[in-house]
Amino acid sequence: MSQQIGKSDAQNPQPVGRIIETSACVIEGVQWLAARDARFAAALELTGPLPLRRKPDGFAELLSAIVSQQVSVASASAIWGRMTKARLTGPRKIKWASDDDLRAVGLSRQKIRYARALADARINFTALRTQPTEAVISQLTEVSGIGVWTAEIYAMFSLGRADVFAPGDLALQEAARMLFNLEARPTEKQLRKMAEDWSPWRAVAARLLWAYYHLAKDREGIR
């Protein structure tokens, strides 16, 4: 089951909300969504059980997200593999590495700048675990190279926040268009508004919409 963490001291005045830790948490959330909206129930019938999709938190996970920006999955995997082999996945290693070292593993000039900005940000990743989602996103997006989508995905999968959504994601927008029979793909602002109805399980709604999108893509040839 998911848990509620709520500290009210001066450093953490707001609860972080529900945390998705196990597959039982995802099941709880999707059952709530299916009971609330028959269209989610229909989507679940097609997709079957949803994945947990929890990831580690910390510097390396955000650095990996930067590496993955605007390149194919295969290219990102290859670059990250070279960085891991070269032990260039920690903040001190990034600071100490030369630009030539970072170019050698496949980072562009822009991504070298982003990687160094992340290393210089000195984020307290342990502290993020107990900060409200809004504060997490605000802090992460102060770093060059980290946009709202990346910050929301980090909160969703690395911190396990159950009530965070990523409406800027094109797959989520397209899935919402299909599932809710919309005339056009919703904008980020429109989808964020729609997702308010899925609180406190917006991250599970995202999992269901992604699963539905990939199923539809395979069946209908969506690109």
Reading the block at residue 109, the tokens are 């000039």
pLDDT > 70 fraction of the chain, expressed in percent and rounded: 92
- Tell me phi and psi for residue 201, to 5 degrees: -120, 40
Q: Judge whether residue 8 has pLDDT over 50.
A: no
Q: What 8-state DSSP symbol labels residue 97?
A: S
The predicted pLDDT at position 219 comes to 72
Q: How many CB atoms neighbour CB 129 within 10 A?
A: 15
Angstrom distances, CA of residue 200 to CA of 31, 39, 96, 149, 163: 12, 18, 43, 19, 5
- Mean per-residue pLDDT over the chain, rounded: 92
pLDDT (tens digit per residue) in 60-101:
999 999 999 889 989 999 999 999 999 999 999 999 999 999
Query: Considering Cα of 193, then 170, then 210, then 55, what sign does the dihedral take?
Result: negative
- Tell me the pLDDT band of 9, cut-offs 50, 70 and 90: very low
| Residue among 56, 66, 64, 60 at smallest CA distance from 158 | 56
Overall average pLDDT of the 174-190 stretch: 97
SS3 of 19, please? strand
Overall average pLDDT of the 208-215 stretch: 96
223 membership: H or E segment, kind and range: none
Distance CA 209, CA 170 (A): 11
| Residue among 40, 11, 16, 8 at smallest CA distance from 156 | 16
The predicted pLDDT at position 14 comes to 52
Distance CA 101, CA 103 (A): 6
pLDDT (tens digit per residue) in 26-68:
999 999 999 999 999 999 999 999 999 999 999 999 999 999 9
- Tell me the pLDDT band of 218, cut-offs 50, 70 and 90: confident
